[in-house]
Structures are given as structure tokens and as C-alpha cells.
Amino acid sequence: MSRFSFAQDDLYRFVESIFPLYYAKHKRAAEITDCIINNFPRKIAEDEIAAELKVTKRWIQKICLTSFLITFTRLKRILRIYSALKLLNETNLDMMGISVYLYYSDETNMARDFKLELNISPTQARKMMMNKTPMELFMNKWKK
């Protein structure tokens, strides 16, 4: 499956929308975001980012907590969920196709992440987006 054109530009806009002050907290927070988005949708571990930025894994965790007020793992999960919302809204891919594209092991794990962050299932999200954009739905449902 080819990379969707929305991925990088839209993910940057999304991060800036939900974390408007993250650059102000620590200048290297943007570098963490860049590493995640540039490798997206492939999963990237803290160890890989730490090696690329020549810092420790603990430093990555600390910057995420102070800049984004969430963990590194949750930041990645949020980006994957938002991307899933975009795919649900803009394609006719089924849940399995979306979960494969976003490197979930199966659609059950994707549904679990939706429930954790948005308290709805991917199917419910697809229905709700008939009246809302993916960004609006995420902002209305996200459990900060």
C-alpha cells in the first residue's frame, strides 16, 4: 500500500493543534516529533530516536512528559489514532486494512487504542465523521 499524501503535513498540523506550546517547552521536542513523523507509519522505538538524536531513552521520556504532558508511547498512539481517523474518513478501507497500514498487529489492538483515547470504537468514529472532520472528532472525544 502506498503512503497517503496527508500523512506528514497533516500530522504536523495535528500535533501543533493539540500541543500548541510544545516547542516553547523544549526546543528538542520538535526533533522528537520529526523523528516519529518522518518514520510514520512505521513504528519507531524510543531507543531509535535516542540514538538518532544522540541522547538517552530517559531524556526522550522526560522531554515528552514536560513538553507534551504525555508519555512517548501515548504520543505515538495518538498519532496513529488520528491517522486512522483520516483513513476512516477519506478512504473505503476496512478496519483490517487500516490496522495493517498503521502497523497494528490486528484490528482488535487498534480498537483498544481508540477506546483508550477516544472512548469509542473505530466503527463508531466512522459513523460520527459524517458530521465532523477527523480533527473535530478527535478534539471532542480525546481524554486528555
d(CA 51, CA 44): 11
Q: Where are the beta strands (DSSP E) in 1-144?
A: none
Q: Full-prediction pTM beyond 0.75? A: yes
- At 46-79, the pLDDT tens digits run 999 999 999 999 999 999 998 888 999 999 999 9
Beta-carbon count within 10 A of 18 CB: 18
Dihedral angle, C-alpha 87, 90, 96, 102, nearest 10 °: -20
- At 8-41, the pLDDT tens digits run 788 888 988 888 766 556 778 889 988 999 888 8
d(CA 22, CA 38): 18
* Mean per-residue pLDDT of the chain: 88
When pLDDT is averaged across residues 86-102 and rounded to a whole number, the result is: 92
Q: What is the pLDDT of residue 136?
A: 93
| C-alpha 92: how far from chain center | 20
Domains of the chain, start order: 7-73 (no CATH), 77-141 (1.10.10.60)
